Amino acid sequence: MQLFAPAKINLSLKILRRREGGFHEIDTLMTPISLHDELTIEPNESGTGIAFSCDDQTVPLGEENLVVRAARRFFSEIEAEPKVRITLQKKIPQGAGLGGGSSDAASTLRGLNELHGAPLSFVRLTTIAAEIGSDVPFFLASSAARCRGRGENVEPVANLPKLALLLLKPDFGVATASAYRDWVNSCELAGVDYAPLKLGNLVLENDLERPVFEKHFFLALMKSWLRQQPEVAAALLSGSGSTIFAVLREANLARSLAERAKRELDPELWSCSCETI
């Protein structure tokens, strides 16, 4: 069984308050995008357990990986001995604010449930997903959604406009936990525009820009540079970063814009032309 695990961007992210236990109350509008990881899930005929492999050597293969945790949790729920082989092909960068690990976990839950004859309802899968990670329930919904609570309360949103995107990421990631931890005491940097951006009926804003830009000023420069380019209708940090996404006026402008960004900002930038789905 082959599954595609899409990345996401946050079109808006508001932090309402810090909750007990270290989590934060948020209100975010997320949408899946055409960039995706690929998972292959099949019965392990040669032995028991969870045989997990990945083509990216930087991805951990043990219990700290959300795919392994999701698989372990699924088999525990159906009270069965794990006998599965999972292969992950990574295309979504890590520490990027694009939800790759959460999407992989959601696809693992969905795939295992289908492979075993759908013993768990969607509601039960969503409950398990929330135990694994705050963004995992969103990826089970398979559509744009407004997510509240710590992210686990998912309300699908229909009829969002399709957006042509260019994703840019430097050669470093941002730890989500540290971005949220630093939010409460963070300050706006002089000369950096944090104001919400109106794009049709959408309002693009991200409260995590404040702590992330304070620690990684290059990301603030990237966003400012993108907003000055004629091809760009809007630009915003996705999640906790380190990806900045640009909403393009025309999809065919992505390649030339990416080449210019590498010339003028950083030749090592990772870039991806994609769209919302």
Q: What is the CATH number of the domain that holds 98?
A: 3.30.230.10
| CA-based torsion, 128, 129, 132, 137: positive or negative | negative
Give the pLDDT score at 48: 86
Q: How confident is the model over 163-218, as pLDDT tens digits?
A: 999 999 999 999 998 999 999 899 999 999 999 999 999 999 999 999 999 999 99
Task: State the residue range of the domain holding 261.
Answer: 164-275
Give the pLDDT score at 17: 83
Structure tokens given for 233: 């209708």
Among 156, 179, 204, give the residue marking a domain's end: 156
Q: Report, as an integer, the average pLDDT of 57-68.
A: 93
Q: Is the pLDDT of residue 21 over 70?
A: no
Q: Please list, in sequence order, all residues whose beta carbon lies within 8 angstroms of the beta carbon of residue 21, skipping any fewer than 6 positions away.
A: none
Say what the pTM is: 0.94
Q: Report, as an integer, the average pLDDT of 103-111.
A: 98
Q: Distance between CA atoms of 125 and 111, rounded to whole angstroms? A: 11
Q: How confident is the model over 229-260, as pLDDT tens digits?
A: 999 999 999 999 999 999 999 999 999 999 99
The per-residue pLDDT of the chain, averaged, comes to 95
Higher pLDDT, 51 or 151: 51
Q: Distance between CA atoms of 180 and 177, rounded to whole angstroms? A: 5
Q: Is the pLDDT of residue 19 over 80?
A: no
Instruction: Let me know: does 240 contact 93? Beta carbons within 8 Å.
Output: no
Give the pLDDT score at 76: 97
Domain shared by 144 and 172, yes or no: no
Give the pLDDT score at 150: 83
**Which residues are the active-site residues?**
8, 135
Among 156, 187, 221, give the residue marking a domain's end: 156
